[in-house]
């Protein structure tokens, strides 16, 4: 069954600000809400608003630029007309910052459902349902209820009336776990804690020691600073690819330290890009071309270093060693595939190899660096092969 979304955006806080325009994750609350329901598969996305001030118009335009169907309406009757007959509708209360997982869970319910929180002091600002429950601010209602409510609404508040009618019609009550409760925000300060939680949860699994133990501080700092900017995650991945290609060129010119510096700068960029995309609820495509090219570009830089050393004193062995390192690294990658290998955090990877080269560079032992990387890649290949063929159960 088709699922739409209705978001309230008409209530103001004590400062006279629209709750929908409170800042969150580098954008506004309404943008976060719209992206959450879109990620849950809802379309169209209808925003109930009495007036559209310039800041709200800009938020809606940014959403439309990303391909989201967002429609502002001024009353319940117009809202009801935007949905197909018999459709289910995700209702998101005004000022509610809900985890995307909760909205996705509600969107999968086959019948109307209302998310609830306990009726206690921490939830005193939430709308009371009965002696034990309050409304968490999100619900799944059916289009018929919306149409009937809008027809008889008068001066009553639409979202509260919809909640009451849904409950009267027997909507399922879903108690939200404390860790996944929506936040009813009335100020930017209240959303600050929710945003910090989003930033913390955006850090995915780190599969190499460089990203797990060396880069987290840089990654966290960069993510927080870029979150409020217009920088697109794809730009960061392309920047990492450009820096890697520039490093390969620099190696051929004999600019060894500048080349390694470019590679070091490139190491956290795709991680930051992934986190920004996650926070903006627009994950990077799994087969993004620029991200897929990072690996071969790093291999090209490795071979470029070997070629330079071959021409300037190290003999043909440097180039052969670089090619051997690249070959073993690629063989290990193919052998592993998408499997999880025990201890894989210590195996050869693009970031691990770049940071492992730093001590050798400090000692000006570039040829020894190539030999060490070749041994590192070969050892990683044999570990993966041993696990794949002899340890992993069939």
For 113-178, strand residue ranges (E) read 113-118, 133-142, 172-175
CATH code for the domain defined by 208-391 = 1.20.120.1760
Most confident range, picked from 41-50, 147-156, 296-305:
296-305
Phi and psi at 5, nearest 5°, equal -145, 140
- pLDDT more than 90, % of the chain: 65
Does residue 155 register a pLDDT over 70?
Answer: no
Contact 310, 298 (CB under 8 A): no
Burial class (CB in 10 A: 0-12, 13-18, 19+), 132: exposed
391 pLDDT more than 70: no
330-389 confidence digits (pLDDT tens):
999 998 887 888 888 999 999 999 999 999 999 999 999 999 999 999 999 999 988 877
CATH 3.90.550.10 applies to domain 3-190: yes
The closest alpha carbon to 185, from 170, 172, 198, belongs to 198
User: Per-residue confidence at 280, pLDDT binned at 50, 70, 90?
Assistant: confident
As a whole number of angstroms, the distance between CA 162 and CA 147 comes to 10
What pLDDT score was predicted for residue 336? 86
- The pLDDT assigned to 154 comes to 57
> Contact 236/276 with Cβ under 8 angstroms?
yes
The structural domains of the chain, with segments of one domain joined by +, span 3-190, 208-391
Least confident of 86-90, 240-244, 264-268: 86-90
Stretch among 15-19, 174-178, 266-270 having the lowest mean pLDDT: 15-19
**Average pLDDT across the chain, whole number:** 91
Q: What's residue 109's pLDDT?
A: 92
277 phi/psi in degrees, rounded to 5: -65, -40
Contact present, 305 and 263 (Cβ < 8 Å): no
The confidence score (pLDDT) of residue 148 equals 85
- CA 381 – CA 394 distance, rounded (Å): 20
Position 79 pLDDT exceeds 80: yes
- Mean predicted confidence (pLDDT) in 190-212: 87
| Predicted local confidence at residue 300, as pLDDT | 97
pLDDT for the residue 150? 82
Reported as a single tens digit per residue, the pLDDT across 44-74 is 999 999 888 999 999 999 999 888 889 999 8
Given a cut of 80, whether residue 392 has pLDDT beyond it is no
Pairing state of beta strands 133-142 and 88-92?
antiparallel
Q: Is residue 310 over pLDDT 60?
A: yes
Q: Which two tokens stand for residue 371?
A: 């030999």
């Amino acid at each position: 069954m088709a699922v739409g979304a209705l978001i309230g955006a008409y209530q103001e806080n004590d400062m006279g600000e629209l709750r929908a325009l409170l800042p969150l994750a580098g954008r506004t609350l309404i943008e976060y809400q719209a992206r959450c329901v879109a990620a849950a598969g809802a379309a169209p996305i209808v925003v109930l608003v009495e007036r559209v001030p310039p800041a709200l118009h800009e938020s809606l335009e940014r959403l439309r630029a990303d391909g989201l169907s967002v429609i502002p309406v001024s009353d319940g009757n117009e809202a009801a007309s935007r949905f197909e007959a018999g459709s289910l509708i995700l209702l998101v209360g005004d000022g509610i910052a809900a985890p995307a997982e909760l909205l996705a869970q509600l969107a999968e319910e086959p019948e109307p459902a209302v998310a609830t929180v306990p009726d206690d002091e921490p939830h005193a600002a939430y709308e009371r349902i009965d002696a034990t429950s309050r409304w968490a601010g999100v619900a799944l209602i059916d289009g018929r209820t919306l149409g009937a409510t809008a027809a008889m609404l008068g001066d009553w508040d639409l979202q509260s009336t919809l909640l009451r009618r849904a409950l009267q019609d027997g909507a399922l009550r879903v108690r939200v776990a404390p860790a996944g409760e929506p936040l009813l925000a009335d100020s930017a300060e209240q959303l600050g804690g929710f945003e910090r939680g989003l930033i913390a949860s955006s850090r995915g699994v780190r599969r190499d020691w460089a990203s797990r133990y060396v880069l987290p501080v840089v990654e966290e700092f960069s993510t927080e600073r870029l979150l409020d900017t217009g920088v697109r995650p794809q730009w960061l991945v392309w920047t990492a690819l450009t820096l890697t290609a520039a490093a390969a060129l620099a190696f051929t010119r004999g600019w060894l330290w500048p080349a390694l510096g470019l590679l070091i700068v490139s190491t956290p960029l795709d991680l930051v890009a992934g986190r920004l995309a996650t926070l903006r609820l627009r994950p990077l495509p799994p087969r993004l071309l620029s991200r897929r090219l990072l690996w071969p570009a790093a291999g090209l830089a490795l071979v470029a270093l070997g070629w330079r050393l071959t021409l300037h004193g190290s003999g043909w062995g440097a180039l052969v060693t670089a090619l051997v390192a690249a070959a073993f690294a690629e063989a290990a990658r193919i052998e592993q595939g998408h499997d999880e290998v025990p201890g894989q955090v210590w195996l050869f990877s693009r970031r691990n190899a770049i940071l492992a080269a730093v001590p050798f560079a400090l000692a000006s032992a570039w040829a020894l660096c190539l030999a060490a990387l070749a041994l590192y890649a070969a050892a990683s290949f044999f570990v993966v092969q041993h696990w794949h063929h002899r340890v992993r159960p069939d």
